[in-house]
Structure 1
Amino acid sequence: MVGGHLWAIYFYPDGKEFKIGDTCISCSIARVSEGEGVRALFKLELLDQSEKGRHIVHSHFIPRTLSHGNTWGYKHYIKRATLEKSDYLKDDRLCIQCTVGVVMTDAERTIPYSQSPPPSDIVQNFGQLLESLEESDVEFEVEGEIFAAHKLVLAARSLVFKAQLFGAFKDQNTKCIRVEDMKALVFKALLHYLYWDVFPDVEESFSLNSRWAKTMMSQHLLSAADRYGLQRLRLICEARIKENIAINTVASSLALAEQHNSQLTSVCIEFITQPENLKGKLSWRVRSALLNRT
């Protein structure tokens, strides 16, 4: 298969016209696929099997149009007697190498697109929308602080927000919605995730430098994710809490896990029951966690 067309080598050991006493072998190429004519050129190479490199080369480098069934080659390719005594024949076998070139017009040629498209910037576009607050149409009051947002973005990201903003039982006042039982910093981090689709950098965005503070933010965001039906954010928070579990956070993590039916429960219990965590001056923390659980 060359240039989208099927080709074949036609080899006649007794000559193409099968004449009695014909002393020459015939060899040609043929286009065997159907369709309109195609311009082609070719090279036939009878290989020297003695590895001396004395190949016999016949070529046509002036293109010719070949239609289905057309052949193009040599009626007198090589004398049969010459072939039988030569190094071109070995163990009753010969080898012919054929090179076919198909000439295409600019319209037929597929020019590869060399420049790869840039990565998607849809997340950056939505993130910048949150930062600029351009065309925002809803506000949330959290601990006395006002956060502006876009209804369609929130509804697209959360079915809970969709019901709250557009559902049959939507809030009466969808211009400014009061959010209870959530810290302002947590709601700000929640909005960051909804627009940027990544867990917020709490150290950069909220100046929370300690490991404990970062875990506490993950705990609060897990509750927010459960509240607004954000399964991916919930799994991210669980993973971060597991990675940073410690004596001073395991009790609150365990309570949180059981409140939200989280997979964190088994991780917390395993951490608490480790021998090194059941003794020492901080053992009251883990014991309290176990007592609260029972």
Structure 2
Amino acid sequence: MGAGKFVSSSTFSVSGYDCTIRIYPDGLKEENPPYMSAYLHLSSGTTDAKVEYTFSLLEKDGKVTTNLESLAHTFQPVAGSWGWSKFIEKPKLQELLDRNDDCVTIRCVLTVIKEPRTEDVSMILVSVPQLDLYTHFANMLKDGEGVDVTFSVGDQLFSAHRYVLAARSPVFKAELFGEMKETTMKCIKIDDMEPAIFEALLHFIYTDSLPSNFDVDKNVALQHLLVAADRYGLDRLKAICEGKLCRKIDVQTVATTLALAEQHHSMQLKNACLGYLSSRDVLRVVKETDGFKHLAASCPSVMMEIVDKLSGV
């Protein structure tokens, strides 16, 4: 064909750019020894097209004979060409043709690189307020607007909303909307619970958190709140109390806490107590406390578990 004359592939498009492969069988220029040249030609698209590409010369079975990769190149303007003047020596090309029935395949892998684009979205950002659902519920409990049921606990009265209580507690739902007599009562008396514990229970029902004035450092208060949570089916509150009690186990409280865990099926708390008692030295001291006497009287089955625990030490 002569130097400077080419054969062009059909047009292919990548990301809005039309390209062809141009092959110069006798080279782009006169060379000694002669080479076949191979170029990527950008035929249409916007200016400043930045691309990376690979040309591979393949055998008939797909095996790569020659593989050349370009660095990122910007075609400016369009209709430019970029490639390799010395793609393959003509003697080697002839050997390839002889092996492959006078045919040759060139594979092009082309990537168009888009420049990163930033936008100033400060004018369209919408500031979303913090979640305030529980704040509204807390205010609803505090203000007393719309309350329709009252509880008498000790010497104090607490007003609340039936539907809120029923939505949060299956026990309250049964009491307030089931077949129990409390469904028609305006004031419900609650025995065996301190007013402060019921107040914390109500606060949790409305806000999913403990009140700020609730003394979580007092083991007894946490134990009573766990009992209340178990009584009204508030599993999340029960688990919170259980977790705090697990971190407060000591010689004076371990026995009563273990009895509580056994009676209210708090397995994590029970295991924590048994683990604390697994030392004979600790058990010897705990046995002198009033709580241990209560444990032995109220939960005799636990005593066997303590013995089993110690036997494995």
The match for 1:148 is 159
Letter matched to residue 258 of structure 1: E
C-alpha offsets along residues 223-248 of structure 1, whole Å, 9 cap, x if unaligned?
11111111111111111111111222
Kindly state the Cα deviation for residue 289 of structure 1 after the two structures are TM-superposed: 4.7
Match of 1:106 in 2: none
Identity %: 32
- 1:148 is displaced (CA, Å) by 0.9
Question: What SS does the aligned partner of 1:28 have?
Answer: strand
Matched ranges for 1:67-216 at <5 A? 73-74=78-79, 77=81, 83-84=85-86, 98=112, 114-115=125-126, 117-169=128-180, 171-201=182-212, 205-206=213-214, 208=215, 211=217, 214-216=218-220
Give the match for residue 258 of structure 1: 262
Q: Please give the alpha-carbon distance, in whole angstroms, between the structure 2 residues aligned to 1:99 and 1:164.
A: 68
Change (3 A) 1:8 1:146: same
Partner Cα distance (2:114, 2:270) in 1: 69
What's the secondary structure of 1:278's corresponding residue?
Answer: helix
Q: Evaluate the alpha carbon distance shift between residue 272 and residue 185 of structure 1 in structure 2; reply closer, same or farther with a 3 A threshold.
A: same
CA distance in 2: counterparts of 1:29 and 1:132, whole angstroms: 75
2:42 matched residue in structure 1: 28
Structure 2 runs not aligned, ≥5 long: 1-13, 30-36, 54-71, 88-105, 301-313
Larger radius of gyration: 2
Of stretches 111-120 and 239-248 in structure 1, the one that deviates more from structure 2 is 111-120
May I ask how many residue pairs the two structures share in their alignment?
Answer: 240
Q: Deviations over 1:62-96 (max 9, x none)?
A: xxxxxxxxxxx42x647x9x9459xxxxxx99998
Cα distance in 1 for residues equivalent to 2:274 and 2:23: 88
Separation (CA, whole Å) in 1 of partners of 2:74 and 2:263: 83
Contact 2:20–2:40 (CA under 8 A) maintained in structure 1 = yes
Higher relative contact order (CA 8 A, sep 6+): 1
Corresponding residue SS for 1:247: coil
Q: List per-residue Cα deviations over 1:201-225 (Å, max 9, x = no partner).
A: 4xxx25x48x4xx211111111111
- The alignment's TM-score, normalised by the length of structure 2, stands at 0.61
Q: 1:247 aligns with which of 247, 251, 270?
A: 251
Query: Could you tell me which residue of structure 2 aligns to residue 69 of structure 1?
Result: none
Kept in 2: contact 1:139–1:147 (CA 8 A)? yes
Which structure 1 segments of 5+ residues have no match?
Answer: 16-20, 32-39, 48-54, 61-72, 86-91, 102-108
- Rate the CA distance shift 1:42–1:246 in 2: closer, same or farther, 3 A: same
Does the 8 A contact of 1:186 with 1:221 survive in 2? yes
Contact 1:41 1:100 in 2 (8 A): no
The code of the aligned residue for 2:143 comes to S
